[in-house]
């Protein structure tokens, strides 16, 4: 089904990620919030496979629960921003005119900020918390979807079957959802896959900077932030959360590349 073998590796990695996230409470040997003042910064060993952090928390358990956080946040952000972006892109591309102009100017302004900077600003003023991260990432996240969909709509608008549907009196909304949307859904799916990876990195970055959840939350980014503080004494704390992030991102990238090749009529010749 997929030409590229690496895509299956992507599926595998993401499968492991999903399992860890969903079944964290059953897989984790310890409570991720549990503190142990005795075993601080313990190295990997029998009792704690990946070692312990500054508060004595078991890194392995915290990683598993961190997977949950990453999964939930990325899915929520991509789903909501995707919906907003697709809708706005459809309307803007289909109707054109002042709606399109207004939207494109808004996009220009949002894109004038370096990526993540605006998210940092928003979280900074709204107050550091995971839900504010979600809000900030949604505010930025709809833009790539809107642009993608708008571009596709613009090129499809002139096709004959769309013009035929219009002249036969079909309602605009119907045309958009029945005729246009199915043709662009595959590119949107590919975009969403890469967006999931991007959100995971953004959330971890923001948590790393201390703009995420309260201290002690097992977000992977926050774990790296704590790790950095003790890096001279306990380097092992920094290694595993980052590895987790990287592997998940690679997994999404493999999947996204595979999907993209699969859907592209040019590369999908059998």
Residues near another protein (CB under 8 A) are: 105, 108-109, 112-118, 120-122, 124-127, 197, 201, 204-205, 208-211, 221, 224-225, 227-228, 231-232, 235, 238-239, 241-243, 245-246, 249-250, 253
Q: Which is nearer to another protein, 9 or 27 (CB)?
A: 9
Contact in structure between 144 and 191 (CB atoms under 8 Å)? yes
**Distances in whole angstroms, Cα of residue 44 to Cα of each of 56, 81, 135:** 12, 40, 37
Question: Least separation, in Å, of the C-beta of 235 and another protein?
Answer: 4
**Distance in angstroms (rounded) separating the CA atoms of residues 142 and 156:** 21
Q: Which is nearer to another protein, 165 or 236 (CB)?
A: 236
**Distance in angstroms (rounded) separating the CA atoms of residues 212 and 73:** 12
Q: Which is nearer to another protein, 65 or 220 (CB)?
A: 220
Question: Least separation, in Å, of the C-beta of 97 and another protein?
Answer: 19
Question: Least separation, in Å, of the C-beta of 253 and another protein?
Answer: 6
Question: Least separation, in Å, of the C-beta of 136 and another protein?
Answer: 11
Question: Least separation, in Å, of the C-beta of 133 and another protein?
Answer: 14
Q: Which is nearer to another protein, 99 or 126 (CB)?
A: 126
Q: What's 235's DSSP letter?
A: T
Least Cα distance to 188 among 134, 138, 139, 147 occurs for 147
Contact in structure between 219 and 213 (CB atoms under 8 Å)? yes
The continuous run of DSSP H or E covering 159 comes out as none
């Amino acid at each position: 089904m997929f030409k590229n073998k690496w895509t299956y590796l992507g599926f595998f990695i993401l499968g492991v990620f999903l399992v860890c996230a969903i079944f964290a409470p059953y897989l984790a040997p310890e409570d991720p919030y549990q503190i142990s003042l005795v075993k601080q910064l313990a190295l990997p060993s029998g009792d704690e496979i990946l070692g312990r952090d500054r508060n004595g928390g078991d890194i392995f358990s915290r990683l598993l629960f961190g997977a949950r956080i990453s999964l939930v946040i990325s899915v929520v952000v991509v789903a909501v921003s995707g919906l907003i972006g697709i809708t706005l892109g459809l309307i803007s591309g289909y109707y054109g005119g002042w709606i399109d102009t207004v939207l494109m100017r808004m996009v220009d302004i949002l894109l004038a900020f370096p990526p993540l900077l605006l998210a940092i600003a928003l979280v900074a003023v709204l107050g550091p918390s995971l839900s504010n991260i979600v809000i900030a990432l949604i505010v930025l996240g709809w833009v790539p979807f809107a642009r993608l969909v708008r571009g596709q709509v613009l090129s499809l608008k002139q096709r004959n079957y769309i013009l035929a549907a219009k002249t036969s009196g079909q309602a605009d909304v119907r045309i958009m959802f029945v005729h246009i949307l199915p043709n662009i859904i595959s590119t949107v799916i590919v975009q969403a896959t890469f967006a999931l990876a991007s959100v995971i990195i953004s959330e971890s970055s923001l948590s790393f900077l201390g703009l995420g959840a309260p201290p002690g939350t097992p977000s992977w980014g926050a774990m790296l932030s704590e790790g950095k503080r003790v890096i001279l004494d306990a380097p092992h704390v920094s290694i595993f959360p980052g590895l987790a992030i990287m592997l998940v991102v690679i997994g999404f990238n493999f999947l996204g590349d595979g999907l993209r090749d699969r859907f592209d009529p040019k590369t999908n010749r059998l």
